[in-house]
Structure 1
Amino acid sequence: MHAAVGERLLIRGKAVDSPDRHGEIVEVHGPNGEPPYLVRFDDGHETLVFPGTDSSVEHSEQPPG
């Protein structure tokens, strides 16, 4: 998984009644855009995330440069 600051992280709920979590990547701590990521979730909570298979990055549509 690779991401950049400003992109969105989606973590799918693990149980039927668990909601998905959405947040903005505010820091990338791994080399070359790899995890872990500091994520600010939509509820305002910030945490360091090591995304699993239930996660995906919503990449920016802006061209590089």
Structure 2
Amino acid sequence: MNATVGDRLLVHGHTVGEGDRSGVIVEVQGRDGGPPYIVRFDDGHTGLVFPGPDAVVVHT
């Protein structure tokens, strides 16, 4: 998984009733665009994310 600042991260809900989360990648901390990422989610929360298999990078 590779990303650049400004790409969007979409994390699919993994339990029944849990919705998807998405946000903008504001910092890439891994080498060559790899994780972890600092993500500002659409709900205003910002956090360090190590994306799993339920996550997709949407390139802008």
Aligning the two structures, in what range does the TM-score lie when normalised by the shorter sequence? over 0.9
Q: In percent, how many aligned pairs have the same letter?
A: 60
Q: CA deviation at 1:15?
A: 1.0
In 2: Cα distance, 1:41 partner to 1:48 partner? 11
Q: CA deviation at 1:16?
A: 2.0
In 2: Cα distance, 1:26 partner to 1:59 partner? 13
What CA deviation, in whole Å up to 9, does each residue of 1:16-59 have, x standing for no partner? 20000000000000010000000000000000000000000001
Larger Rg: 1
In 2: Cα distance, 1:22 partner to 1:42 partner? 6
Structure-2 residue corresponding to 1:8: 8
The number of equivalent residue pairs is 60
Q: CA deviation at 1:12?
A: 0.2
Structure-2 residue corresponding to 1:19: 19
Extract structure 1 runs of 4+ deviating beyond 6 A.
Answer: none
- Gaps of at least 5 residues in structure 2 are none
Q: Normalized against structure 1, the TM-score is what? A: 0.90
The one-letter amino acid paired with 1:21 is: R
In 1: Cα distance, 2:49 partner to 2:9 partner? 10
The one-letter amino acid paired with 1:51 is: P
- Gaps of at least 5 residues in structure 1 are 61-65
Considering Cα pairs closer than 8 Å and 6+ residues apart, tell me whether 1 or 2 has the greater RCO: 2
